[in-house]
Chains A and B, each alone.
Chain A
Amino acid sequence: SAVISQKPSRDICQRGTSLTIQCQVDSQVTMMFWYRQQPGQSLTLIATANQGSEATYESGFVIDKFPISRPNLTFSTLTVSNMSPEDSSIYLCSVRHGSLEQYFGPGTRLTVT
């Protein structure tokens, strides 16, 4: 399995500011995924990030709000822009490594006040 780390693990941010979340994998992977988990809810895919190309966003998520970078095969960032309290969630990155299983990072717990 892949070892995935995320930074920060948690943060409390002011309304209107932006936060960049980092995801680091211990091996090279083609695709990385970013998910959001709102309080008490399940996970929803935000976007898929391929190295060297634009991220592909799911319905309801836009690049201006959630810009993603994927500079190499082991790293990605997700920015939550112009935050509002509705953005308070856990943000998780995941990768598919080797076989079919997808592995997740520990998540970033974001609270917007």
Chain B
Amino acid sequence: SQQGEEDPQALSIQEGENATMNCSYKTSINNLQWYRQNSGRGLVHLILIRSNEREKHSGRLRVTLDTSKKSSSLLITASRAADTASYFCATSQGGSEKLVFGKGTKLTVNP
């Protein structure tokens, strides 16, 4: 069953704007990972945040995690047309390495 729920389902912005995507989950997690998928291709790993972390940065990406609210957000700053893709969060729980994915947010960055 789906663990994460991203919102919005779709987001359209102009180049240079910031994009924020949210992910909520239902049970306790070990970590949460964000992925990007371009046009039905393979997934590109963006960032992992552990359950004891609150914020991580990687280039133009900023991820936050609020375990009390069971939610995470992915912020892409100064977006580019090349950021157009679907973004998924995925969680791992307990002693399992398997990932449970959210439904994804489809981001369109207009030039």
By a beta-carbon cutoff of 8 Å, the part of chain A in contact with chain B is 1, 6, 31, 33, 37, 41-45, 48, 58, 90, 92, 94, 96, 99-107, 109
Contacts and interface: CB of A to CB of B under 8 A. Distances in A.
A45 B103 CA distance: 13
Interface stretch (B14-22, B35-43, B60-68, B76-84): B35-43
B45 interface: yes
B88 A43 contact: yes
Interface residues of B, number: 24
Contacts of A94: 43, 99
Majority-rule SS of A interface residues? strand
B42 A107 contact: yes
From A42, A94, A96, A104, name the one whose CB has the most chain B CB atoms within 10 angstroms: A42
From A43, A48, A96, name the one whose CB has the most chain B CB atoms within 10 angstroms: A43
